[in-house]
Structure 1
């Protein structure tokens, strides 16, 4: 079982690249521990900025550094980064189109028992609605590393949400196909299609294997790129299946399900079911317990597909 969380994969890439690129700067809001950025701060203290519990300043300073030619990565819990600093994200980063990469750590319900104040079930909707802001939810440590390396090569703003805990690998060191803003096809079937993002990709892959044993074959898309959405991949999946299911660790409003439904409704009408967190304060518990409670796991997906085929 993998023990490396995606947030650590981000730090590992930044450490590797910062050895030769002195323009890389990491900023934290009293969150170097929860962001797994302590090793970066220790190795490159002159390329690290601690702003304290001040998310608005975090984003504003990062934008200023970007305007000076730096490559800032601003890391903070997703629940705070996507709400407390929203105006700075909108104006200083997106409107000004500055090279700031926002790292929302402990996304979704990663903080578990700390409750709604620490959950980020609205960040996809919030960040996606801002012009010029790209939104990514990588599914495992290998894809996370590929994404960060790709984002280091451009100068546009982006929001990357990762969870708090290690997740089971989808890919491997040897096999991790990656093209920026292109979804990965993980399984191909004609009975149904599942489009998932972030930590929901693993359950989708597991469900595909469970269903295959019963003679049901589904398509699975790893839609790590929420904005821009890989519209072509969605439409191709819709063209060969009669049922689409989206899975996301997010509110039912404004996230992956809403994006897919909007596209399918206008281009290829068919049934779309959105599996998401409820429009209510989420129960307290570990991520696994929360997912189990709301059926956001492989068993829950199998049930939904079999009931709707």
Structure 2
């Protein structure tokens, strides 16, 4: 059997920007001295006149993007998630969010899979922070195909969007005829015993864990929630009514992210047992990405073991 193809969603981001740039003259890309890492360097090579390197000044970059959006441009401001959601939170809240400007944030290197860069760069809080900004759309794609379509959808919609991308290559699980829609979850596997709601890098791992659970007689339903906000509450409630138990999986803190969004939904609409798998209330640390995911129980085996324990 041939090995599953893997591509980092940050690469997908760079490729999607180039393709969109060919079609839309009003698309501009800003970066904070990380074009090689965020892959916006691909856009710079293709359209140097529409690329601005703002230097290591993320807050200023967001301000520039905000200004450009008022002049008919559609700016994609790009940097690591830690610097986008963390360092520039004030500017995203007050300069982009408050006036609801048409600015897109390309946040790469999210989660502990940043690896050797360590705790200071492993942003496990960004979804929680962005959820608090009124009107902010939050998208966390699971693979190359979904990521490219997400960038296109972000361009086409009016208003601020936070796009979360990873450094680590992730398996491609979607087919070429996949259709991405903002705010619409995707049921990847039918099940009756438990609902697994996953996002981003954790979707492929959750699918693998679900297959392993079948050998134990546990029939898990798997849902890909690529859009954290607005959340597809209908697909979650419908599945919860069928299985009666929900488990969320995310490469993010269990505080304020996907798990919290699902709990908010179900506590109001259909109270059931919800367990959250993610980064506990701790910082990450330096190490190879794959080994860190294993250590934090966020690889397929770790997810499988945690769900088996929860179901017991």
Give the TM-score taking structure 1 as reference length.
Answer: 0.96
Aligned to 1:148: 151
- Tell me which of 254, 261, 264 is aligned to 1:262: 264
Q: CA deviation at 1:297?
A: 2.0
Q: CA deviation at 1:287?
A: 2.2
Aligned to 1:36: 39
Question: Could you say what secondary structure the match of 2:96 adopts?
Answer: helix
Checking the alignment, whether the CA contact within 8 Å between 2:188 and 2:224 is kept in structure 1 is: yes
Once residues 298 and 159 of structure 2 are traced to their aligned partners in structure 1, the CA distance between those partners, rounded to angstroms, is 33
Matches within 5 A, 1:116-155: 116-155=119-158
Q: CA deviation at 1:178?
A: 2.0
**48-57 or 268-277: which moved more?**
268-277
Once residues 306 and 116 of structure 1 are traced to their aligned partners in structure 2, the CA distance between those partners, rounded to angstroms, is 29
Aligned to 1:16: 19
Once residues 57 and 181 of structure 1 are traced to their aligned partners in structure 2, the CA distance between those partners, rounded to angstroms, is 30
Checking the alignment, whether the CA contact within 8 Å between 2:119 and 2:284 is kept in structure 1 is: yes
Once residues 69 and 263 of structure 1 are traced to their aligned partners in structure 2, the CA distance between those partners, rounded to angstroms, is 36
Aligned to 2:301: 299
Checking the alignment, whether the CA contact within 8 Å between 1:134 and 1:159 is kept in structure 2 is: yes
Aligned to 1:172: 175
Q: CA deviation at 1:122?
A: 0.5
Aligned to 1:46: 49
Checking the alignment, whether the CA contact within 8 Å between 1:28 and 1:76 is kept in structure 2 is: yes
Once residues 37 and 16 of structure 1 are traced to their aligned partners in structure 2, the CA distance between those partners, rounded to angstroms, is 12
Matches within 5 A, 1:277-292: 277-292=279-294
Q: Does 1:115 align with 2:138?
A: no
* 1:162 to 1:209, Cα distance in 2 relative to 1, 3 A: same
User: Any stretches of 5+ residues in structure 1 without a counterpart?
Assistant: none
Once residues 141 and 160 of structure 2 are traced to their aligned partners in structure 1, the CA distance between those partners, rounded to angstroms, is 16
Aligned to 1:247: 249
Q: CA deviation at 1:132?
A: 1.2
Once residues 296 and 198 of structure 2 are traced to their aligned partners in structure 1, the CA distance between those partners, rounded to angstroms, is 16
Cα distance per residue 1:59-109 (max 9 Å; x no partner): 000010000000100110001111111111001111111110001101111
After superposition, the CA RMSD in angstroms is 1.3
Question: Could you say what secondary structure the match of 1:118 adopts?
Answer: coil
Once residues 116 and 301 of structure 1 are traced to their aligned partners in structure 2, the CA distance between those partners, rounded to angstroms, is 22
Matches within 5 A, 1:195-274: 195-274=197-276
Once residues 6 and 156 of structure 1 are traced to their aligned partners in structure 2, the CA distance between those partners, rounded to angstroms, is 22
Once residues 42 and 309 of structure 2 are traced to their aligned partners in structure 1, the CA distance between those partners, rounded to angstroms, is 48
User: Any stretches of 5+ residues in structure 2 without a counterpart?
Assistant: none
Once residues 16 and 308 of structure 1 are traced to their aligned partners in structure 2, the CA distance between those partners, rounded to angstroms, is 44
Checking the alignment, whether the CA contact within 8 Å between 2:113 and 2:293 is kept in structure 1 is: no
Once residues 302 and 14 of structure 1 are traced to their aligned partners in structure 2, the CA distance between those partners, rounded to angstroms, is 36
Q: CA deviation at 1:3?
A: 4.5
Once residues 229 and 76 of structure 2 are traced to their aligned partners in structure 1, the CA distance between those partners, rounded to angstroms, is 19
Checking the alignment, whether the CA contact within 8 Å between 2:38 and 2:79 is kept in structure 1 is: yes
Figure out how many residues of one structure are paired with residues of the other and give that number.
308
Q: CA deviation at 1:118?
A: 0.6
Give the TM-score taking structure 2 as reference length.
Answer: 0.95
Cα distance per residue 1:29-60 (max 9 Å; x no partner): 00100111112101101110000000001100
Q: CA deviation at 1:262?
A: 2.0
Checking the alignment, whether the CA contact within 8 Å between 1:113 and 1:284 is kept in structure 2 is: yes
